[in-house]
Amino acid sequence: MGFKRTIHAVETHSGIPMRVVTGGIPNIPGDTVYAKMKWLEANDDGLRKLLLREPRGYPAHCCNIIVPPCHPEADAGYIILEQVEYPMMSGGNTISVATVLLEMGMLPMQEPITELTLEAPAGLIRIVAECKDGKVKSVKFKNVPAFAAHLDAEIEVPHLGKVRVDVGWGGMFYVIADVRQFAGLELKPEHGKEITRISAMIRQAAIEQLPVAHPDYPGVGITISQLSGPTDDPRADWKNVVTMPTGPLSWDDPATWTGAIDRCPCGTGTCAKMAVLHAKGELPLHQDFRHQGILGTVFTGRLEGEARIGDKAAVVPTLAGTSWIHGINTIVLDHDDPFPEGYTLGDIWPKQ
């Protein structure tokens, strides 16, 4: 039996599902993983939709394509796919990719510690994996430098009023708001619909009112939002819920004021939060920062040093967490399938 596309993937989660494609993708041109990502975006974006939309995906779904590395120091490369964008970097996805490469035998595992280097679109990511009995127990990586772009900025959010936010870069630009500004709202699963509504509105208002720039990635702006607050769990220092966009937001259409919650504590979001806290004098270097997600799981971050990005003061974060393999999948596209890029419906998706 022949198919139009046959793709091999390993299904993982760190709370949020993170698919890792291990085979079936033709050679993607480019002399860096960043260039490969841009080629894919321009020439085969239907692949991203095929992998992430129904019936093969759903709104809170990420995907990674493992590609040959371009940098001589890298052991493997990976391109990150999300519902509306190709991120430069993602912490949870990096943890999942490293886990798959080692547990599936694509790269050799050494116990108790395996060191490897991955090439993300953002550049080289150094990884230390704790391994035991053929399993990856924890992945720690050195992220790209993070920095605060705006601190305690006041934005006007339609239908919400004035909201105080920070904006930080941790591999993506996050707008971060303290959840205590919204009476009755708590960072727990049963408040998920209201969390996504408020987060989506804050993100759009921040895009419109708070300009950002990264010297190395021109044109990359605020794409994601984080509600943040204290936790009473002794396993963590702070709690957060990141909302990922699943489509464009229109102020004239309340049905688009939504998104999908990141079910994990969010790696790049943790790095952005640490950069903001450090800029405010609230998080020193060389101190663990245990960041809790909506399911109660924790990523542990740490600021290992200071750096500069252009004229901006920055910090160098590390992040540690765990991902679990939950399936092995062969994804196919039938020649007669009337939906070669998948589909979305207004019951759980915004208008596309």
| DSSP conformation letters of 125-163 | EEEEEEEETTEEEEEEEEPPPBEEEEEEEEEEETTTEEE
Catalytic residue positions, numbered: 90, 266
Domain-by-domain residue ranges, the chain? 5-142+324-333, 147-319
pTM of this prediction exceeds 0.85: yes
Cis amide bond preceding 248, omega within 30: no
For 291-315, what is each residue's pLDDT tens digit?
A: 999 999 999 999 999 999 988 899 9
Q: What is the DSSP secondary structure assignment for residue 187, as one 8-state letter?
A: S
pLDDT for position 1: 66
Cα 127 vs. chain centroid, distance in angstroms?
17
For 197-247, what is each residue's pLDDT tens digit?
A: 999 999 999 999 999 999 988 889 999 999 999 999 999 999 999 999 999
Q: Which CATH class is domain 5-142+324-333?
A: alpha beta
Fold of 147-319: Diaminopimelate Epimerase; Chain A, domain 1 (3.10.310)
pLDDT for position 311: 87
Are domains 5-142+324-333 and 147-319 of this chain identical in fold? yes
| DSSP conformation letters of 75-88 | SEEEEEE-SS---S
- The helix, strand and coil proportions of the chain, stated in percent and rounded to the nearest 5, come to 20, 40, 40
Q: Which helix (H) or strand (E) holds 3?
A: none
pLDDT for position 352: 67
Residues of the chain with pLDDT under 70: 1, 352
